[in-house]
Amino acid sequence: MWVRQRRRSGGEAIVVKHAVLVIGALIGACLLPVLAWGQGNGGRPLSAVSRQMLDFGILFSGTPARISRFDALRAGQFELRGAKGSEVRIDLGLPAAMTGAGGAKLPLQFAAGDGGYARDGLIATAAPFDPRAPLVTTLSANGRLYLFLGGTATPAVRQSAGTYSGTVIVTIAYTGT
Amino acid sequence: MTLSVKGAVAGAALMLVGAMSTAQAQATPATASITATATVAQALTAAKVRDLDFGATFGGIARTVLPTDVSSGEVTLTGGANAEVTVSFTTLPAILTGPGVDIPLTYGANAAAYNVAGTRAGATAFDPSTGSTTRLNNATGLLSIYLGGTVSPAANQVAGTYTNTINLSAAYTGN
Protein backbone atom coordinates (compact mmCIF):
# COMPACT_ATOMS: atom_id res chain seq x y z
CA MET A 1 0.00 0.00 0.00
CA TRP A 2 2.79 2.42 0.79
CA VAL A 3 4.56 1.61 -2.53
CA ARG A 4 1.47 2.38 -4.62
CA GLN A 5 1.25 5.89 -3.21
CA ARG A 6 4.82 6.63 -4.18
CA ARG A 7 4.27 5.53 -7.79
CA ARG A 8 2.16 8.58 -8.65
CA SER A 9 5.12 10.82 -9.47
CA GLY A 10 8.38 10.18 -11.24
CA GLY A 11 10.31 12.13 -8.61
CA GLU A 12 9.03 9.90 -5.92
CA ALA A 13 10.16 6.87 -7.81
CA ILE A 14 13.68 7.55 -6.54
CA VAL A 15 12.31 7.65 -3.04
CA VAL A 16 10.66 4.36 -3.72
CA LYS A 17 13.97 2.85 -4.82
CA HIS A 18 15.61 4.02 -1.64
CA ALA A 19 12.70 2.86 0.38
CA VAL A 20 12.92 -0.54 -1.24
CA LEU A 21 16.60 -0.69 -0.54
CA VAL A 22 15.90 0.22 3.05
CA ILE A 23 13.23 -2.44 3.20
CA GLY A 24 15.64 -4.88 1.63
CA ALA A 25 18.27 -3.98 4.18
CA LEU A 26 15.78 -4.37 6.98
CA ILE A 27 14.64 -7.71 5.64
CA GLY A 28 18.23 -8.77 5.26
CA ALA A 29 18.99 -7.71 8.80
CA CYS A 30 16.02 -9.63 10.03
CA LEU A 31 16.87 -12.71 8.02
CA LEU A 32 20.52 -12.87 8.95
CA PRO A 33 20.13 -14.42 12.35
CA VAL A 34 17.33 -16.69 11.13
CA LEU A 35 19.30 -17.89 8.14
CA ALA A 36 22.42 -18.39 10.19
CA TRP A 37 20.48 -20.40 12.66
CA GLY A 38 18.79 -22.26 9.85
CA GLN A 39 22.09 -23.03 8.21
CA GLY A 40 23.39 -24.23 11.49
CA ASN A 41 20.57 -26.75 11.51
CA GLY A 42 20.93 -27.53 7.86
CA GLY A 43 17.46 -26.17 7.21
CA ARG A 44 15.95 -29.55 8.04
CA PRO A 45 12.92 -29.97 10.27
CA LEU A 46 13.00 -32.53 13.02
CA SER A 47 11.03 -35.71 12.84
CA ALA A 48 10.47 -38.60 15.20
CA VAL A 49 9.44 -42.07 14.20
CA SER A 50 8.29 -44.94 16.40
CA ARG A 51 10.13 -48.10 15.50
CA GLN A 52 9.16 -50.62 18.16
CA MET A 53 6.91 -50.81 21.18
CA LEU A 54 8.16 -51.58 24.66
CA ASP A 55 6.93 -55.12 25.02
CA PHE A 56 6.96 -56.80 28.41
CA GLY A 57 5.38 -59.92 26.98
CA ILE A 58 3.65 -62.25 29.39
CA LEU A 59 3.87 -61.26 33.03
CA PHE A 60 2.97 -63.24 36.08
CA SER A 61 1.24 -61.84 39.11
CA GLY A 62 3.64 -60.91 41.85
CA THR A 63 6.67 -61.30 39.61
CA PRO A 64 8.39 -58.12 38.38
CA ALA A 65 9.76 -58.19 34.85
CA ARG A 66 12.51 -55.99 33.50
CA ILE A 67 13.19 -55.30 29.86
CA SER A 68 16.74 -54.26 29.15
CA ARG A 69 17.45 -51.40 26.77
CA PHE A 70 19.71 -53.87 24.99
CA ASP A 71 16.80 -56.19 24.23
CA ALA A 72 16.49 -55.86 20.48
CA LEU A 73 13.13 -57.58 20.39
CA ARG A 74 11.38 -55.95 23.33
CA ALA A 75 12.97 -52.60 24.10
CA GLY A 76 11.07 -49.56 22.88
CA GLN A 77 12.73 -47.86 19.93
CA PHE A 78 12.51 -44.43 18.29
CA GLU A 79 14.29 -43.01 15.28
CA LEU A 80 14.89 -39.27 15.32
CA ARG A 81 15.88 -37.23 12.29
CA GLY A 82 17.04 -33.69 11.81
CA ALA A 83 19.89 -31.54 10.65
CA LYS A 84 23.25 -33.24 10.44
CA GLY A 85 25.31 -32.93 13.58
CA SER A 86 22.90 -30.54 15.26
CA GLU A 87 22.38 -30.45 18.99
CA VAL A 88 18.98 -31.54 20.22
CA ARG A 89 17.12 -31.96 23.46
CA ILE A 90 15.08 -35.09 23.95
CA ASP A 91 12.36 -35.52 26.53
CA LEU A 92 10.51 -38.72 27.21
CA GLY A 93 7.02 -38.79 28.65
CA LEU A 94 6.98 -41.95 30.72
CA PRO A 95 3.82 -43.51 32.08
CA ALA A 96 3.79 -44.50 35.75
CA ALA A 97 1.63 -47.48 34.95
CA MET A 98 0.05 -49.46 32.18
CA THR A 99 -3.72 -49.63 32.15
CA GLY A 100 -5.82 -52.71 31.67
CA ALA A 101 -9.47 -53.65 31.61
CA GLY A 102 -11.63 -51.66 33.96
CA GLY A 103 -8.84 -49.16 34.55
CA ALA A 104 -6.66 -51.66 36.39
CA LYS A 105 -3.11 -50.36 36.78
CA LEU A 106 0.15 -52.22 36.37
CA PRO A 107 3.01 -50.11 37.75
CA LEU A 108 5.98 -49.22 35.57
CA GLN A 109 9.39 -48.05 36.71
CA PHE A 110 12.20 -46.52 34.69
CA ALA A 111 15.69 -46.38 36.10
CA ALA A 112 18.83 -44.44 35.23
CA GLY A 113 20.18 -47.05 32.84
CA ASP A 114 16.95 -47.82 31.04
CA GLY A 115 17.53 -45.37 28.22
CA GLY A 116 20.03 -45.83 25.41
CA TYR A 117 20.94 -43.71 22.40
CA ALA A 118 23.04 -44.45 19.37
CA ARG A 119 23.86 -42.41 16.29
CA ASP A 120 24.51 -45.54 14.25
CA GLY A 121 21.37 -47.37 15.31
CA LEU A 122 23.25 -50.22 16.97
CA ILE A 123 21.44 -51.17 20.14
CA ALA A 124 24.33 -53.22 21.49
CA THR A 125 26.62 -50.21 21.72
CA ALA A 126 24.05 -47.58 22.59
CA ALA A 127 25.15 -45.14 25.27
CA PRO A 128 23.09 -45.11 28.44
CA PHE A 129 20.96 -42.22 29.66
CA ASP A 130 18.35 -41.67 32.30
CA PRO A 131 15.02 -41.61 30.48
CA ARG A 132 13.48 -39.66 33.36
CA ALA A 133 15.67 -36.65 32.59
CA PRO A 134 16.15 -34.62 29.40
CA LEU A 135 18.89 -35.83 27.10
CA VAL A 136 20.95 -33.25 25.24
CA THR A 137 23.09 -34.68 22.50
CA THR A 138 23.88 -34.27 18.82
CA LEU A 139 22.46 -35.99 15.82
CA SER A 140 24.77 -38.07 13.69
CA ALA A 141 26.60 -36.88 10.60
CA ASN A 142 23.61 -38.00 8.60
CA GLY A 143 21.12 -36.41 10.96
CA ARG A 144 19.96 -39.51 12.78
CA LEU A 145 19.66 -40.60 16.37
CA TYR A 146 18.17 -43.81 17.71
CA LEU A 147 16.66 -44.20 21.16
CA PHE A 148 16.14 -47.42 23.06
CA LEU A 149 14.03 -47.80 26.16
CA GLY A 150 13.78 -50.53 28.73
CA GLY A 151 11.91 -50.57 32.01
CA THR A 152 10.40 -52.64 34.76
CA ALA A 153 6.81 -53.72 35.17
CA THR A 154 5.67 -54.83 38.59
CA PRO A 155 2.41 -56.73 38.58
CA ALA A 156 0.77 -57.09 41.95
CA VAL A 157 0.28 -60.45 43.60
CA ARG A 158 -3.40 -60.24 42.75
CA GLN A 159 -2.95 -58.48 39.42
CA SER A 160 -5.90 -59.18 37.16
CA ALA A 161 -5.08 -61.27 34.14
CA GLY A 162 -5.31 -59.54 30.79
CA THR A 163 -3.64 -57.03 28.52
CA TYR A 164 -2.21 -53.76 29.80
CA SER A 165 -0.79 -50.84 27.85
CA GLY A 166 0.59 -47.33 28.26
CA THR A 167 2.06 -44.65 26.04
CA VAL A 168 5.62 -43.40 25.93
CA ILE A 169 6.02 -40.07 24.18
CA VAL A 170 9.29 -38.68 22.86
CA THR A 171 9.76 -34.99 22.11
CA ILE A 172 12.81 -33.71 20.27
CA ALA A 173 13.77 -30.08 19.76
CA TYR A 174 16.82 -28.21 18.54
CA THR A 175 18.67 -26.50 21.32
CA GLY A 176 19.79 -23.78 18.96
CA THR A 177 23.37 -24.36 19.98
CA MET B 1 11.30 0.37 -12.59
CA THR B 2 8.20 0.47 -10.60
CA LEU B 3 7.34 -3.04 -11.74
CA SER B 4 10.75 -4.28 -10.83
CA VAL B 5 10.45 -2.60 -7.47
CA LYS B 6 7.15 -4.36 -6.89
CA GLY B 7 8.74 -7.62 -7.92
CA ALA B 8 11.66 -7.06 -5.60
CA VAL B 9 9.36 -6.27 -2.73
CA ALA B 10 7.27 -9.32 -3.49
CA GLY B 11 10.37 -11.46 -3.78
CA ALA B 12 11.70 -10.16 -0.52
CA ALA B 13 8.37 -10.82 1.08
CA LEU B 14 8.40 -14.38 -0.22
CA MET B 15 11.92 -14.84 1.07
CA LEU B 16 10.82 -13.57 4.45
CA VAL B 17 7.80 -15.82 4.51
CA GLY B 18 9.93 -18.73 3.38
CA ALA B 19 12.54 -18.04 5.99
CA MET B 20 9.87 -17.74 8.66
CA SER B 21 8.32 -21.03 7.57
CA THR B 22 11.68 -22.72 7.80
CA ALA B 23 12.38 -21.17 11.15
CA GLN B 24 8.99 -22.19 12.46
CA ALA B 25 9.43 -25.73 11.18
CA GLN B 26 12.80 -25.97 12.82
CA ALA B 27 11.59 -24.44 16.05
CA THR B 28 8.69 -26.84 16.31
CA PRO B 29 9.60 -29.90 18.36
CA ALA B 30 8.85 -33.25 16.84
CA THR B 31 7.06 -35.94 18.79
CA ALA B 32 6.30 -39.61 18.45
CA SER B 33 4.94 -42.24 20.74
CA ILE B 34 5.23 -45.94 21.34
CA THR B 35 3.08 -48.28 23.36
CA ALA B 36 4.29 -50.10 26.42
CA THR B 37 2.38 -53.32 26.64
CA ALA B 38 2.15 -56.44 28.77
CA THR B 39 -0.14 -59.38 29.17
CA VAL B 40 -0.66 -60.62 32.69
CA ALA B 41 -1.15 -64.34 32.88
CA GLN B 42 -3.60 -66.08 35.09
CA ALA B 43 -2.65 -66.06 38.75
CA LEU B 44 -0.91 -69.17 40.02
CA THR B 45 -3.05 -71.29 42.31
CA ALA B 46 -2.48 -74.57 44.12
CA ALA B 47 -5.09 -77.08 45.19
CA LYS B 48 -4.76 -80.28 47.16
CA VAL B 49 -6.04 -83.30 45.33
CA ARG B 50 -5.02 -86.02 47.71
CA ASP B 51 -3.24 -86.47 51.05
CA LEU B 52 -0.15 -88.60 51.39
CA ASP B 53 -1.54 -91.75 52.92
CA PHE B 54 0.68 -94.51 54.28
CA GLY B 55 -2.32 -96.59 55.18
CA ALA B 56 -2.09 -99.23 57.83
CA THR B 57 1.42 -99.83 59.09
CA PHE B 58 2.78 -102.30 61.55
CA GLY B 59 5.24 -101.79 64.36
CA GLY B 60 8.82 -102.27 63.32
CA ILE B 61 8.03 -102.38 59.60
CA ALA B 62 8.88 -99.39 57.43
CA ARG B 63 6.49 -98.47 54.71
CA THR B 64 7.31 -96.49 51.59
CA VAL B 65 4.91 -94.71 49.30
CA LEU B 66 6.34 -93.80 45.91
CA PRO B 67 5.24 -90.61 44.18
CA THR B 68 3.82 -92.79 41.44
CA ASP B 69 1.67 -94.73 43.88
CA VAL B 70 -2.00 -93.85 44.03
CA SER B 71 -1.65 -93.11 47.73
CA SER B 72 1.00 -90.44 47.22
CA GLY B 73 0.12 -86.86 48.03
CA GLU B 74 -1.02 -84.79 45.09
CA VAL B 75 -1.30 -81.05 44.50
CA THR B 76 -2.38 -79.44 41.28
CA LEU B 77 -1.00 -76.08 40.20
CA THR B 78 -2.93 -73.92 37.78
CA GLY B 79 -1.50 -70.87 36.05
CA GLY B 80 -0.41 -69.39 32.77
CA ALA B 81 0.18 -71.86 29.98
CA ASN B 82 3.82 -72.83 29.65
CA ALA B 83 4.87 -70.51 32.44
CA GLU B 84 7.94 -71.53 34.39
CA VAL B 85 7.43 -72.09 38.08
CA THR B 86 9.50 -73.04 41.08
CA VAL B 87 8.07 -75.66 43.37
CA SER B 88 9.30 -76.17 46.89
CA PHE B 89 8.06 -77.91 49.98
CA THR B 90 8.20 -75.25 52.64
CA THR B 91 7.20 -77.69 55.34
CA LEU B 92 8.48 -81.21 55.03
CA PRO B 93 7.94 -82.81 58.42
CA ALA B 94 10.36 -85.41 59.70
CA ILE B 95 7.80 -87.05 61.93
CA LEU B 96 4.18 -88.04 62.21
CA THR B 97 2.56 -87.39 65.54
CA GLY B 98 -0.17 -89.37 67.22
CA PRO B 99 -1.07 -91.26 70.39
CA GLY B 100 2.37 -92.80 70.75
CA VAL B 101 5.91 -91.73 70.14
CA ASP B 102 6.53 -89.86 66.95
CA ILE B 103 6.93 -91.93 63.81
CA PRO B 104 9.97 -90.91 61.72
CA LEU B 105 9.16 -89.78 58.21
CA THR B 106 11.85 -89.55 55.55
CA TYR B 107 11.98 -88.62 51.90
CA GLY B 108 14.33 -89.99 49.30
CA ALA B 109 15.88 -88.00 46.49
CA ASN B 110 13.12 -89.23 44.17
CA ALA B 111 10.25 -88.95 46.60
CA ALA B 112 8.60 -86.13 44.68
CA ALA B 113 7.52 -85.92 41.06
CA TYR B 114 5.69 -83.64 38.67
CA ASN B 115 3.79 -84.15 35.47
CA VAL B 116 2.09 -81.64 33.17
CA ALA B 117 -0.11 -84.49 31.93
CA GLY B 118 -1.73 -84.82 35.32
CA THR B 119 -0.89 -88.50 35.73
CA ARG B 120 1.41 -90.26 38.13
CA ALA B 121 2.61 -92.49 35.35
CA GLY B 122 5.41 -90.80 33.48
CA ALA B 123 5.96 -88.17 36.17
CA THR B 124 9.43 -86.68 36.50
CA ALA B 125 11.04 -87.32 39.87
CA PHE B 126 12.74 -84.67 41.95
CA ASP B 127 14.13 -84.27 45.41
CA PRO B 128 11.47 -82.75 47.66
CA SER B 129 14.11 -81.29 49.94
CA THR B 130 15.48 -79.11 47.15
CA GLY B 131 12.38 -78.53 45.06
CA SER B 132 12.29 -78.10 41.33
CA THR B 133 11.80 -75.62 38.52
CA THR B 134 9.66 -76.60 35.60
CA ARG B 135 6.92 -75.35 33.31
CA LEU B 136 3.18 -75.59 33.46
CA ASN B 137 1.34 -77.41 30.72
CA ASN B 138 1.72 -75.38 27.54
CA ALA B 139 -1.97 -75.64 26.78
CA THR B 140 -3.84 -76.04 30.03
CA GLY B 141 -1.47 -74.30 32.44
CA LEU B 142 -1.70 -77.28 34.81
CA LEU B 143 1.02 -79.09 36.72
CA SER B 144 0.54 -82.00 39.06
CA ILE B 145 2.92 -82.52 41.96
CA TYR B 146 3.20 -85.83 43.75
CA LEU B 147 4.92 -86.68 47.02
CA GLY B 148 5.80 -89.96 48.61
CA GLY B 149 7.97 -90.87 51.58
CA THR B 150 8.86 -93.55 54.09
CA VAL B 151 7.53 -94.01 57.61
CA SER B 152 9.34 -96.18 60.11
CA PRO B 153 7.16 -96.99 63.13
CA ALA B 154 8.80 -98.42 66.18
CA ALA B 155 8.35 -102.04 67.01
CA ASN B 156 6.17 -101.13 69.95
CA GLN B 157 4.41 -98.25 68.25
CA VAL B 158 1.13 -97.41 69.93
CA ALA B 159 -1.76 -98.07 67.63
CA GLY B 160 -3.67 -95.10 66.34
CA THR B 161 -3.66 -92.39 63.70
CA TYR B 162 -0.52 -90.33 63.20
CA THR B 163 -0.49 -87.21 61.10
CA ASN B 164 1.39 -84.09 60.17
CA THR B 165 1.18 -81.30 57.65
CA ILE B 166 3.17 -80.81 54.48
CA ASN B 167 3.19 -77.40 52.84
CA LEU B 168 4.06 -76.75 49.23
CA SER B 169 4.83 -73.40 47.69
CA ALA B 170 4.99 -72.48 44.00
CA ALA B 171 5.82 -69.23 42.27
CA TYR B 172 6.32 -67.94 38.78
CA THR B 173 9.92 -67.37 37.86
CA GLY B 174 8.99 -64.79 35.26
CA ASN B 175 10.39 -66.90 32.45
The interface pTM score, or ipTM, of the predicted complex is: 0.75
Interstrand relation of B30-40 and A144-149 (parallel, antiparallel or unpaired): unpaired
Residue B23 binned pLDDT confidence (cut-offs 50, 70, 90):
very low
Asked if A172 and B29 come within 8 Å (Cβ–Cβ), the reply is yes
Chain A hits for B18, CB-CB cut-off 8 Å, are none
What number of other Cβ atoms are within 10 A of residue A118's Cβ?
17
Between A150 and B25, name the one with better pLDDT: A150
- What's the whole-number average pLDDT of chain B? 87
Rounded to 5°, angle at Cα B22 from B18 and B27: 145
At residue A9, the pLDDT reads: 35
Which of helix, strand or coil describes residue A100?
A: coil
Chain B hits for A77, CB-CB cut-off 8 Å, are 34
Which residues neighbour B38 within 8 Å (Cβ) at sequence distance 6 or greater? A55, A56, A57, A58, A59, A65, A98, A106, A153, A155, A163, A164, A165
Report the alpha-carbon distance of residue B60 to residue B156 in Å, rounded.
Answer: 7
Report the alpha-carbon distance of residue B91 to residue B118 in Å, rounded.
Answer: 23
pLDDT above 90: residue B77: yes
Chain B hits for A95, CB-CB cut-off 8 Å, are 36
Asked if B38 and A56 come within 8 Å (Cβ–Cβ), the reply is yes
Asked if A59 and B39 come within 8 Å (Cβ–Cβ), the reply is yes
Asked if B36 and A158 come within 8 Å (Cβ–Cβ), the reply is no
pLDDT above 80: residue A53: yes
Provide the number of CB pairs (under 8 Å) joining chain A to chain B.
Answer: 179
CB nearest to A161's CB, from B15, B19, B40? B40
At residue A157, the pLDDT reads: 86
Cα-based torsion angle of the residue sequence A111, A113, A115, A119 in order, rounded to the nearest 10 degrees? 170
Rounded to 5°, angle at Cα B139 from B135 and B143: 40
Q: In chain B, what is the straight-line distance between the N-terminal and C-terminal CA atoms, in Å?
A: 81
Residue A41 binned pLDDT confidence (cut-offs 50, 70, 90):
low
DSSP-H helix ranges across chain B: 2-27
CB nearest to B31's CB, from A76, A159, A169? A169
At residue B174, the pLDDT reads: 75
DSSP per-residue string spanning A111-151: -TTSEEEESS--GGGPEEE-TTS-EEEE--TTSEEEEEE-E
**What's the pTM value of the predicted model, to 2 decimals?**
0.62
Distance from CA of A116 to the nearest CA of B (A): 15
Q: By CA distance, what is A47's nearest residue in B?
A: B30
Interstrand relation of B142-147 and B73-78 (parallel, antiparallel or unpaired): antiparallel
Chain B 21-40, residues with CB within 8 Å of chain A CB atoms: 22-23, 25-40
Report the alpha-carbon distance of residue B98 to residue B14 in Å, rounded.
Answer: 101
CB nearest to A60's CB, from B30, B35, B172? B172
